């Protein structure tokens, strides 16, 4: 072996398998590095060359050896063997040991591992591939320590010197090239560029802004973090430097395998916009009262907790690599212990799906690729937090580039894990941010999962500066009976932590300096509301029949099994909308058909076989992200791939869900409903899929309905009614699409009012069309829970109201106090009003 070559002997006997055939994308897509795999027939892992053990994974299934030339060889026994936590592995060396080629490193029990893990395939990966210019792999069967598994040509300067000595060296560079790739040189273009560069003997670098990366190393190229429209050039030295520069210039200009035809140069000069007060803004005459949108009713008197996303800052460099490495190892161990405790607590509370998330996080902490990369950076003089963050971010970048929903879904988990370790390294104690009793959360915005995860024992309300009454955070707040305001003046973000405030979710106000007298009045109002709610609750199980004998079906909007149980307690006559996407908000991977069927069956059982359960198929997109279903960013997400469009474009997902729903048939009166139907072909295609799956499963009698959320569907209602068994009007979306105002828009959200006469007229058209085919119309948008809107909806001919769970008893009580005749007269009147404000004014007078 010369100095520029490194021969690695097979560390185990067995059959050689090319890395891209390993059934694990992390290895197959070479995210960890270049290498090869062996399906072993022996049970001893031997050193493939002389060197030093620089890492033994705590689970003893993976080990890294550094050769004398500084090449890092990671050997990973089996797939998913980290989960065995060392069971079946006997380490024979420790970190820091110097080993000879052929020396046993780890003994493993092949039978035991084969039974418990996915595969025994053992990967041999070079993790610092930037030091290797060429790989040569063997194939077929190998015998441990006898056969050469791979030969590495090392990229030492000696290569160039040889060429120089022969007088053959040329050095040349390209012109500056503007990167056309919309997301810059991320993993895939980096891999394409490196592959092209490896075709040449010359040493090739990519230069950006005085920084250089080895163009043959994917990791180095990604590390340069070149973005759209940034200027780069190729610098090559060697006998084929000219050809290399020319070929790589063309490759970069062509987009390195990506479609760059639509990429645009970013504006260079950001425009500064001065904030002005809108002519439509409602201004408070009292400086102590901040106005907002009434997002969820009720009064909350409590103390401000500003929910900020903490800035984690740290130095990039550190002087003591050993100390940094120990700090990182300690932090990982502590995090694992914390996660274990959390997992056990959630399991004990019966919160199995969240417990599983934290189990998955523990596995991520044991990922050797991240740990290796972090340690490499520490060795190069970087601090532990910097190295950890970089290593995770690199992995995230690679995962984002992988064309697999499942893998990309792990990004959210990795981000969580990254923050957990950073906080531990920086000594940021999450306990210190434990919420006090009677907390009112103040934040710019809350995602649906933020809202769902609020600690209900402490949080009594929330206020956001963004969003509106129909944003999903508001919907969740209503289902949780949590008073909430949205779209509040941003000055609320400057309120002191702990300040006492009064949130009135009915009036849409936040009083930041309430007098004792005002507080007393509000406490009385709170008391009255409680009494009325209690009275309604006592009659919750009685039917909702108007005084002139018309039965209105009052059902619930739910998001999980717990809601279904609560709904029954509140007198729901069934479920008018199961927002199925809410079941999976925290899930990193798509649940399989069996898992989905189990949840639907549990929900159906909670209701009983005599009650309707309308399951809406996944309604993702717009402002509703699903971690396991990452969507490419869109210019207009609310007008993009949303609702049923996703199901139609990815029929395998829709099919799995439909089958799972159908399998719960019989446990309740099951109906399937499609979201965001805008055209008849969409309905027909989705319905056909249901019919096929129903026939396949031998299920019959499942009604298929649609949400009416898009004006086109309301206008052509008559045609849709010929195909659909029922309609349910989604007033939240119907309003945003009728008014062309994003329901969660920070500045417009407050005007998205379902009582706008334009929306009410669309509902009337929907009912008229449905009546022609004898189909029924329900409402499951927020208007069904709005006590002002309920009589109008009944008057328009709506016969089913699907409400947030807490609103059910009061909606039922209101129905009992109405007569259809009065409601019809009222509906006639409001349809003639010019705007939402006049409608509300008219209804409030009643
Ligand atoms: C609606 O749009 O009114 C509706 C009920 O659907 P979602 O709020 O879940 O979009
Ligand atoms: Mg909707």
Model confidence pLDDT, tens digit, residues 106-117:
999 988 888 877
Q: Ligand 1 pocket test: pick from 477, 559, 675, 734 the residue with the most ligand atoms within 8 Å of its Cβ.
A: 675
Give the residue, 583 or 673, on which the prediction is more confident.
673
**Distance from the CA of 222 to the center of ligand 1, in angstroms?**
41
pLDDT at 419: 82
* pTM confidence score: 0.58
In this prediction, residue 158 has a pLDDT band, given cuts at 50, 70 and 90, of very low
Smallest-distance ligand from the CA of 479:
1
In this prediction, residue 629 has a pLDDT band, given cuts at 50, 70 and 90, of confident
* Cα 279 to Cα 274: distance, rounded to the nearest angstrom: 15
Smallest-distance ligand from the CA of 582:
1
**Are 106 and 122 within 8 A, CB to CB?**
no
Give kind and range of the element (H or E) at residue 811.
helix 808-816
* Cα 158 to Cα 67: distance, rounded to the nearest angstrom: 18
Smallest-distance ligand from the CA of 624:
1
**Distance from the CA of 728 to the center of ligand 1, in angstroms?**
10
**Distance from the CA of 738 to the center of ligand 2, in angstroms?**
13
Binding site membership of 619 for ligand 1 (Cβ less than 6 Å): yes
Which is nearest to 54 in space by CA: 369, 385, 366, 376?
Answer: 376
In which residue are the tokens 């930041």 written?
512
Residue 20, token pair as written in the block: 């891209």
In this prediction, residue 404 has a pLDDT band, given cuts at 50, 70 and 90, of very low
**Are 76 and 24 within 8 A, CB to CB?**
no
Atom in ligand 1 nearest the alpha carbon of residue 579:
9
**Distance from the CA of 255 to the center of ligand 2, in angstroms?**
38
pLDDT at 699 over 90: yes
**Distance from the CA of 471 to the center of ligand 1, in angstroms?**
9
pLDDT at 87: 87
Q: Strands of 209-356 (E only): list them.
A: 211-214, 231-237, 289-291, 293-296, 299-306
Binding site membership of 709 for ligand 1 (Cβ less than 6 Å): yes
pLDDT at 516: 93
Q: Which of 313-317, 377-381, 385-389, 463-467 has the lowest mean pLDDT?
A: 463-467
Q: How far is CA 186 from the centre of its chain?
A: 20
The phi and psi torsions of 186 (rounded to 5 degrees) equal -90, -165
Q: Ligand 1 pocket test: pick from 577, 780, 789, 803 the residue with the most ligand atoms within 8 Å of its Cβ.
A: 780
**Are 441 and 463 within 8 A, CB to CB?**
yes
pLDDT at 728 over 80: yes
In the predicted model, what is the mean pLDDT of the chain?
86
Which is nearest to 477 in space by CA: 467, 491, 489?
Answer: 467
407-412: long-range contacts (C-beta < 8 A, 24 or more apart)? Answer: 407/25, 408/630, 409/587, 409/588, 409/589, 409/590, 409/627, 409/628, 409/629, 409/630, 410/364, 410/588, 410/589, 411/627, 411/630, 412/588, 412/627
Give the residue, 273 or 135, on which the prediction is more confident.
135
Atom in ligand 1 nearest the alpha carbon of residue 736:
2
Smallest-distance ligand from the CA of 781:
1
* Strands 800-804, 553-558: pairing kind: parallel
The phi and psi torsions of 640 (rounded to 5 degrees) equal -105, -140
In which residue are the tokens 């502590």 written?
334
Q: What is the pLDDT of residues 333-376, one digit of tens each?
A: 888 888 888 778 767 766 565 566 677 777 778 777 788 889 98
Smallest-distance ligand from the CA of 476:
1
* Cα 149 to Cα 429: distance, rounded to the nearest angstrom: 48
Binding site membership of 781 for ligand 1 (Cβ less than 6 Å): yes
* Cα 614 to Cα 576: distance, rounded to the nearest angstrom: 5
CB atoms within 5 A of ion ligand 2 belong to: 709, 730, 733
pLDDT at 246 over 80: yes
Query: Cα dist. 576→556, 562, 688 in Å?
Result: 6, 16, 22
pLDDT at 271: 47
Binding site membership of 72 for ligand 1 (Cβ less than 6 Å): no
pLDDT at 450: 63
Residue of the nearest CA to atom 8 in ligand 1?
732
Binding site membership of 579 for ligand 1 (Cβ less than 6 Å): yes
**Distance from the CA of 466 to the center of ligand 2, in angstroms?**
19
Residue 698: how many other CB atoms lie within 10 Å: 7
pLDDT at 429: 67
Atom in ligand 1 nearest the alpha carbon of residue 782:
3
Q: Ligand 1 pocket test: pick from 559, 625, 732, 756 the residue with the most ligand atoms within 8 Å of its Cβ.
A: 732
Binding site membership of 475 for ligand 1 (Cβ less than 6 Å): yes
**Distance from the CA of 28 to the center of ligand 2, in angstroms?**
40
Q: How far apart are the two ends of the chain, measured CA to CA in Å?
A: 95
Residue of the nearest CA to atom 10 in ligand 1?
733
Active site residue 745: no
Which is nearest to 83 in space by CA: 111, 58, 109, 103?
Answer: 58
Query: Cα dist. 681→187, 642, 648 in Å?
Result: 39, 16, 11
pLDDT at 309: 60
Atom in ligand 1 nearest the alpha carbon of residue 470:
8
Which is nearest to 45 in space by CA: 95, 88, 81, 91?
Answer: 91
Q: What is the pLDDT of residues 604-622, one digit of tens each?
A: 999 999 999 999 999 988 7
Residue of the nearest CA to atom 4 in ligand 1?
730
Smallest-distance ligand from the CA of 478:
1
Q: Which of 49-58, 323-332, 578-587 has the lowest mean pLDDT?
A: 578-587
Q: Ligand 1 pocket test: pick from 467, 709, 804 the residue with the most ligand atoms within 8 Å of its Cβ.
A: 709
DSSP 687-752: HHHHHHHHHHHT----EEEEEE-SHHHHHTHHHHHHH-SEEEE-HHHHHHHHHT--TT-TTTGGG-
Residue of the nearest CA to atom 9 in ligand 1?
579
Rg (CA), the chain: 31
Q: Ligand 1 pocket test: pick from 579, 621, 753 the residue with the most ligand atoms within 8 Å of its Cβ.
A: 579
Give the residue, 211 or 631, on which the prediction is more confident.
211
pLDDT at 29: 67
Which is nearest to 572 in space by CA: 559, 555, 597?
Answer: 555
Across 391-398, average pLDDT: 80
Residue 706, token pair as written in the block: 């649609």
pLDDT at 146: 93
Q: Which of 153-162, 349-358, 542-551, 722-731 has the lowest mean pLDDT?
A: 153-162
Binding site membership of 780 for ligand 1 (Cβ less than 6 Å): yes
Please, what are the domains in the chain? Answer: 3-157 (2.70.70.10), 170-253 (3.30.1340.10), 289-310+432-523 (3.50.30.10), 321-427 (1.10.274.10), 543-845 (3.20.20.60)
**Distance from the CA of 582 to the center of ligand 1, in angstroms?**
12
* Cα 365 to Cα 388: distance, rounded to the nearest angstrom: 11
pLDDT at 161 over 70: no
pLDDT at 269: 43
Q: What is the pLDDT of residues 185-200, one digit of tens each?
A: 866 677 778 878 878 8
* Strands 484-486, 293-296: pairing kind: antiparallel
pLDDT at 412: 61
Atom in ligand 1 nearest the alpha carbon of residue 729:
3
pLDDT at 270 over 80: no
**Distance from the CA of 733 to the center of ligand 1, in angstroms?**
6
Binding site membership of 732 for ligand 1 (Cβ less than 6 Å): yes
Going 385 to 391 to 397 to 400, the CA torsion angle's sign is negative
Which is nearest to 481 in space by CA: 497, 462, 507?
Answer: 462
Across 685-693, average pLDDT: 98
Atom in ligand 1 nearest the alpha carbon of residue 802:
5
Residue of the nearest CA to atom 1 in ligand 1?
730
Q: What is the pLDDT of residues 408-447, one digit of tens each?
A: 446 666 777 888 899 889 887 654 457 888 999 998 877 6
Active-site residue, from 49, 418, 568, 780: 780
* Cα 127 to Cα 405: distance, rounded to the nearest angstrom: 26
Which is nearest to 731 in space by CA: 768, 766, 773, 681?
Answer: 766
Across 295-302, average pLDDT: 92
Binding site membership of 671 for ligand 1 (Cβ less than 6 Å): no
Across 128-138, average pLDDT: 83
**Are 667 and 604 within 8 A, CB to CB?**
yes
**Distance from the CA of 732 to the center of ligand 1, in angstroms?**
5
Across 799-823, average pLDDT: 96
What torsion, rounded to 10 degrees, do the Cα atoms 127, 130, 135, 139 define?
20
Binding site membership of 730 for ligand 1 (Cβ less than 6 Å): yes
Give the residue, 702 or 587, on which the prediction is more confident.
702
- Which residues have CB under 8 Å from 753's CB, separation 6+? 469, 735, 759, 836, 840
Give kind and range of the element (H or E) at residue 363.
helix 352-365
Across 306-335, average pLDDT: 86
Across 729-758, average pLDDT: 89
In this prediction, residue 575 has a pLDDT band, given cuts at 50, 70 and 90, of very high
pLDDT at 444: 83
Residue 330, token pair as written in the block: 């300690």
pLDDT at 378: 93
Q: Which of 76-80, 160-164, 186-190, 662-666 has the lowest mean pLDDT?
A: 160-164
DSSP 633: -
* Cα 414 to Cα 151: distance, rounded to the nearest angstrom: 34
Atom in ligand 1 nearest the alpha carbon of residue 581:
9
**Distance from the CA of 780 to the center of ligand 2, in angstroms?**
9
Active-site residue, from 76, 186, 472, 667: 472
Atom in ligand 1 nearest the alpha carbon of residue 781:
3
Across 754-772, average pLDDT: 98
Atom in ligand 1 nearest the alpha carbon of residue 731:
3
The angle that helices 321-348 and 352-365 make with each other, rounded to 10 degrees, is 160
Smallest-distance ligand from the CA of 804:
1
**Could you tell me which residues are beta bridge partners of residue 613?**
575, 670
pLDDT at 681: 98
**Could you tell me which residues are beta bridge partners of residue 8?**
150
Which is nearest to 536 in space by CA: 577, 491, 569, 495?
Answer: 569
Within 13 A of 371's CA, how many CA atoms are on the CB side?
25
Which is nearest to 574 in space by CA: 820, 781, 778, 793?
Answer: 778
Give the residue, 396 or 29, on which the prediction is more confident.
396
pLDDT at 592 over 50: yes
pLDDT at 708: 98
**Distance from the CA of 619 to the center of ligand 1, in angstroms?**
9
Binding site membership of 728 for ligand 1 (Cβ less than 6 Å): no
Binding site membership of 802 for ligand 1 (Cβ less than 6 Å): no
pLDDT at 272: 47
**Distance from the CA of 733 to the center of ligand 2, in angstroms?**
5
* Strands 439-443, 509-511: pairing kind: unpaired
Across 271-284, average pLDDT: 66
Active site residue 780: yes
């Amino acid at each position: 072996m010369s100095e520029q070559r490194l021969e690695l002997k097979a560390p185990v006997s067995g059959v050689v398998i090319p890395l891209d055939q390993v059934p694990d994308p992390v290895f197959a897509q070479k995210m960890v590095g270049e290498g090869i795999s062996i399906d072993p027939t022996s049970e001893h892992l031997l050193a493939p060359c002389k060197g030093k053990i620089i890492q033994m994974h705590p689970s003893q299934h993976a080990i890294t050896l550094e050769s004398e030339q500084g090449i890092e060889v990671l050997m990973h026994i089996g797939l998913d063997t980290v989960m065995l936590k060392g069971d079946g592995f006997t380490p024979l060396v420790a970190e820091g040991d110097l080993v000879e080629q052929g020396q046993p490193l780890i003994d493993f029990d092949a039978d035991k591992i084969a039974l418990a893990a996915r595969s025994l395939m053992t990967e041999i990966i070079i993790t610092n591939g930037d030091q290797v210019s060429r790989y040569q792999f063997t194939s077929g069967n190998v015998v441990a320590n006898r056969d050469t598994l791979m030969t590495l040509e090392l990229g030492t300067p000696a290569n160039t010197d040889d060429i120089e000595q022969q007088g053959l060296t040329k050095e040349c560079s390209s012109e500056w090239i503007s990167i056309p790739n919309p997301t810059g040189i991320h993993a895939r273009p980096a891999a394409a560029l490196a592959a092209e560069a490896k075709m040449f003997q010359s040493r090739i670098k990519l230069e950006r802004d005085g920084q250089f990366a080895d163009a043959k190393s994917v990791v180095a190229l990604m590390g340069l973090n070149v973005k759209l429209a940034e200027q780069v050039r190729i610098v090559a030295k060697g006998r084929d430097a000219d050809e290399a520069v020319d070929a790589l210039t063309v490759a970069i200009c062509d987009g390195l395998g990506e479609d760059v035809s639509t990429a645009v140069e970013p504006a260079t000069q950001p425009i500064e916009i001065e904030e002005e007060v809108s002519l439509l803004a409602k201004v408070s005459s009292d400086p102590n009262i901040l106005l907002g949108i009434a997002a969820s009713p009720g009064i909350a008197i409590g103390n401000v907790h500003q929910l900020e996303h903490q800035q984690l800052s740290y130095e990039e460099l550190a002087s003591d690599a050993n100390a940094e490495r120990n700090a990182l190892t300690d932090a990982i161990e502590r995090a694992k212990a914390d996660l274990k405790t959390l997992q056990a607590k959630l399991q004990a509370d019966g919160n199995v799906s969240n417990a599983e998330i934290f189990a998955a996080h523990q596995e991520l902490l044991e990922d050797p690729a991240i740990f290796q990369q972090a340690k490499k950076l520490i060795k190069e003089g970087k601090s532990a937090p910097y190295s950890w963050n970089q290593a995770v971010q690199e992995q995230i970048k690679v995962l984002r580039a992988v064309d697999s929903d499942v893998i990309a879904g792990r990004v959210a988990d990795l981000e969580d894990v990254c923050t957990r370790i950073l906080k531990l390294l920086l000594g940021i104690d999450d306990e210190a941010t434990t919420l006090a009793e009677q907390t009112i959360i103040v934040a710019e915005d809350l995602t649906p999962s933020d809202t769902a995860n609020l600690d209900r024992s402490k949080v009594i309300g929330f206020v956001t500066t963004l969003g509106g009454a129909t944003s999903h955070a508001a919907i969740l707040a209503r289902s949780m009976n949590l008073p909430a305001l949205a779209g509040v003046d941003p000055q609320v973000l400057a309120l002191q932590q702990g300040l006492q405030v009064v949130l009135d979710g009915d009036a849409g106000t936040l009083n930041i300096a309430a007098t004792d007298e005002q507080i007393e009045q509000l406490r009385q109002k709170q008391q009255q509301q409680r009494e009325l709610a209690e009275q309604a609750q006592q009659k919750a199980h009685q039917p909702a029949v108007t005084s002139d004998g018309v039965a209105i079906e009052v059902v619930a909007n739910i998001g999980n099994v717990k809601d279904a149980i609560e709904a029954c307690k509140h007198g729901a006559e069934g479920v008018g909308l199961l927002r199925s996407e809410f079941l999976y908000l925290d899930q990193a991977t798509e649940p399989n058909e069996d898992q989905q069927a189990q949840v639907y069956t549990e929900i159906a059982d909670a209701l009983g076989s005599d009650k309707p359960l309308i399951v809406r198929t996944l309604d993702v997109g717009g402002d509703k992200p699903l971690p396991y279903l990452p969507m490419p960013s869109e210019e207009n997400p609310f007008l993009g791939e949303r609702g049923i469009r996703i199901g139609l474009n990815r029929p395998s997902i829709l099919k799995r869900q439909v089958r799972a729903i159908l399998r719960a048939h019989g446990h309740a009166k099951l109906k399937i409903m499609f979201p965001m139907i805008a055209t008849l072909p969409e309905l027909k295609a989705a319905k056909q899929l249901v019919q096929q799956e129903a026939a396949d499963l031998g299920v019959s009698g499942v009604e298929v309905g649609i949400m009416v959320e898009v004006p086109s569907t309301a206008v052509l209602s008559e045609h849709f009614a010929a195909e659909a068994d029922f309609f349910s009007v989604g007033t939240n979306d119907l309003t945003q699409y009728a008014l062309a105002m994003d329901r969660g828009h920070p500045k417009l959200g407050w005007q998205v009012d379902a009582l706008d006469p334009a929306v009410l007229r669309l509902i009337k058209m929907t009912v008229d069309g449905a009546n022609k085919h004898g189909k029924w119309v329900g409402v499951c948008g927020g208007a069904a829970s709005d006590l002002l809107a309920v009589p109008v909806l009944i008057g328009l001919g709506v016969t089913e109201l699907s409400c947030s769970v807490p609103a059910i008893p009061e909606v039922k009580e209101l129905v009992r106090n109405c007569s259809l005749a009065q409601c019809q007269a009222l509906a006639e009147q409001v349809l003639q009003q010019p705007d939402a404000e006049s409608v509300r004014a008219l209804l409030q007078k009643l």
